[in-house]
Amino acid sequence: MTQTLTITSPDDWHLHLRDGAMLKGVLPETVRDFGRAIIMPNLVPPVVAGAQAAEYRGRILAAMPSGADFTPLMTLYLTETTDADDVAAAHASGLITAVKLYPAGATTNSDSGVANFDKVQGVLERMAEIGLPLCVHGEVTDPSVDIFDREAVFIDRVLDPLRRRVPDLKVVMEHITTADGVAYVLSQDERLGATITTHHLIINRNDLLVGGIKPHYYCLPIAKREEHRVALVEAATSGDARFFLGTDSAPHSDPTKESACGCAGVFSSTNTMSCLAHVFENANALDKLERFASLNGPAFYGLPTNSSKITLIKQADPVGFPEKIHTEVGDVTVFDPGFPLHWTTS
């Protein structure tokens, strides 16, 4: 018997689209299933001002497949010289939905990020006043801190002090990867939320490292121990309104991934909803999938839910997702969950 599940169309609250030919190549993979997405601003050069965000949004809309119904939600890249008035004006006009904090050097194209948090205090206070959320890449970059501990240390050293200094600021801990991150969110009020990626619900660090290094599983924050993956699944499938989907789908061409110093990023836009249906079904929580993928994110951001619906259909034979997405700047490998996927969308 065919099994189906109809839910409100989902949103992706953390997405990399890149620019130019890569943008044109990967955008169709998102708009197929998602109504909206928070667009990351870490281009080269980064999107640091309202005018740049407007131009980038224009390029995304120009690359949209014919007939697509998709809204890009723009962000600004926080730097130590960010102009609070420009941020406020971009928010008031409806252009931006959030501001993104990258600790300097934490991940791809983060060199322009924040090293001295005192220098962004005024911008954060202004954001709290106008109700503009801050999206945080939660890792310290101190070389003395083990890469597997950087999220937990960030919470103690940076995030908790920041929230105490600006208690009214809405903050999203993006792509949490640890039980520490889950526990911190659960200990806080509704002004703190967290996104969880598709791949962190499925892979642990063994998948990345055992039997040879798997470059297409390498991401930042890096995948952690199995106990942390289990904690993420429990959080995502709990129905708790503070946890919602942010794929962190991040396209890189295969040569830049499969190199002596490969780029960090997992591309999962193509099969995310199928992967999530599998994870939630295994957790006996298919009834919670809509909350995680479609309802909790809009509620946190103060936006209406999508008016459209999608239907997930479970079929007997595995779904034939493409192994790679072809773009003019090279092939992009699609996330491989390591097991057959039987859910598809219509």
Query: Beta strands of 81-120 (E only): which ranges?
Result: 96-101
Query: How does residue 103 score in pLDDT terms, banded at 50, 70 and 90?
Result: confident
Closest CA to 343 of 207, 198, 176: 198
Mean pLDDT across 22-44: 97
Percent of the chain with pLDDT over 90: 94
pLDDT digits (tens, 9 = 90+) for 11-30: 999 999 999 999 999 999 99
Instruction: Name residues whose C-beta falls within 8 Å of residue 270's C-beta, 6 or more positions apart in sequence.
Output: 29, 321, 322, 325, 334, 335
With 0-12 / 13-18 / 19 or more C-beta atoms within 10 angstroms meaning exposed / middle / buried, residue 37 is buried
* Residues β-bridged to residue 7: 310
Q: What is the pLDDT of residues 174-220, one digit of tens each?
A: 999 999 999 999 999 999 999 999 999 999 999 999 999 999 999 99
Q: Are strands 243-245 and 330-333 parallel, antiparallel or unpaired?
A: unpaired
Q: What's the N-to-C CA distance of the chain in angstroms?
A: 17
- Encode pLDDT of 268-293 as tens digits: 999 999 999 999 999 999 999 999 99
Q: What angle do CA 323, 224, 170 make, to 5 degrees?
A: 95
Predicted confidence band at 1 (pLDDT cuts at 50, 70, 90)? very low
Contact residues for 236 (Cβ-Cβ < 8 A; gap 6+): 196, 201, 243, 245, 279, 280, 292
Give the predicted TM-score (pTM) of the model. 0.97
Compute the mean pLDDT over every residue in the chain, rounded to the nearest whole number.
96
3-state SS, residue 172: strand
Q: To which residue do tokens 């099969």 refer?
A: 271
Dist CA 1 CA 75 (whole Å): 44
What domains lie within the chain, and their CATH numbers? Answer: 3-345 (3.20.20.140)
CA proximity to 62, closest of 73, 72, 51: 72
- Catalytically active residues, by annotation: 248
